Amino acid sequence: MTESVVLIESPAPGVGLVRINRPDARNALNMEVRKSLVKALADLTENESIRAIVLTGSPKTFAAGADIKEMAGVGSIEQMKRGSDKLWRAIYSCPKPVIAAVTGFALGGGCELAMTCDIIIAGEGAKFGQPEVKIGIIPGGGGTQRLTRAIGKYKAMRYILTGDVFTAKEAFDMGLVSELAADADVEKRAVAMAQQLAELPPLALMHAKESVLASMETPLSSGLAFETKAIQILFSSQDQKEGMAAFIEKRKPNFVGK
C-alpha cells in the first residue's frame, strides 16, 4: 500500500481502524497525512456500521512528529494559511469514540495526535514527548493545553520546557495513558476495546464523550447543566428503552443507535 493513511473498515464488528503509513519518514505528520486523517475519520463518522475507531501507526513509530522538512522554510503567513489548526480540530471533534493504539515513538505532533483521541492504549516500550523547543518552536497542535490538562502544570512544564522524552509507564502513572499493554498486543487490545464500545448504545457514547469534553472547557456549573440536558435527551432514544428493558428482562440488549 502506498497511501499515507490506510483505512481498514472492519478489523472487528463495528470497528474502523485508521493506520498512519509513512515508514520512510517515521510516520511524520505532513499536510497530506493530516488531511488524509481528517478524511478517514469523516468517512468512518458517516459509516453507520462503524461505532468505534482505532487510530494507530507502526510497531516502531506511532508518529514521530510533524514533518520538519516540510516546515523548515515556511514563514508565519504561509503557516497560517495551511490551516493545520483546523485539521486538528476536525480530528478532535469526531463524535465517535477514538482509541489511540500507541507503539514506539509518539513525539511532538504524534503525542498531540494521541491526545486528540479519547482513550490511549500504549505499549510498554512506547515513548512520548513534546520536544518542539529543541528546534526553536513550541507544541502547536494542542500540546501546551492538553498535556497540562492531562498531567498537571508542573509535570507538563517539566516536559514541554526541556523537551525530554518520557516512557509509557511514566505516561500511565501521570494519567496521560489509559492502559498499558505488551507492545505486540497493543493493536489487538485496542480493537477489542473498540469492539466492546461498538456493542454499547452509540447515542449514549456520543453524549458521554461530549459531556466529558465539555468538562475540560467549562466551569463545573455549566458542565453539570450540559450533562443534565444530555441525559434528558437520551430518555427519548429507543436505545434507552431497549437497554432498561433488557436489564429488567435479564437479556442482552440490541442497540440500534436511535
- Determine whether 132 is an active site residue: yes
Are residues 158 and 51 located together in one domain of the fold? yes
Q: pTM of the predicted model, to two decimals?
A: 0.93
Contact of 116 with 174, CB cutoff 8 Å = no
Of 28, 52, 64, 66, which residue is the catalytic one? 66
**Looking at the 3D structure of the chain, how many domains does it have?**
2
Domain containing residue 61: 5-198
- Determine whether 179 is an active site residue: no
Of 16, 28, 104, 132, which residue is the catalytic one? 132
Are residues 163 and 93 located together in one domain of the fold? yes
Q: Which pLDDT tens digits describe the chain residue by residue (258 residues)?
A: 446 788 787 899 999 999 999 888 899 888 889 999 999 999 999 999 999 999 999 999 999 887 777 777 778 887 777 777 887 888 888 999 999 999 999 999 999 999 999 999 999 999 999 999 999 999 999 999 999 999 999 999 999 999 999 999 999 999 999 999 999 999 999 999 999 999 999 999 999 999 999 999 899 999 999 999 999 999 999 999 999 999 999 999 999 999
Of 65, 100, 112, 194, which residue is the catalytic one? 112
Are residues 79 and 36 located together in one domain of the fold? yes
Least Cα distance to 20 among 41, 37, 44 occurs for 37
Residue 255 is assigned to a structural domain of this protein? no
CA distances (Å), origin 61, targets 111, 150, 191, 216: 11, 22, 18, 29
- Determine whether 52 is an active site residue: no
End-to-end CA distance of the chain: 37
Residue 167 is assigned to a structural domain of this protein? yes
Are residues 88 and 209 located together in one domain of the fold? no
Residue 258 is assigned to a structural domain of this protein? no
- We report the CATH number of the domain holding residue 67 as 3.90.226.10
- We report the CATH number of the domain holding residue 215 as 1.10.12
Residue 38 is assigned to a structural domain of this protein? yes
- Determine whether 109 is an active site residue: yes
Is residue 189 within a helix (H) or strand (E), and if so which, with residue range? Answer: helix 186-198
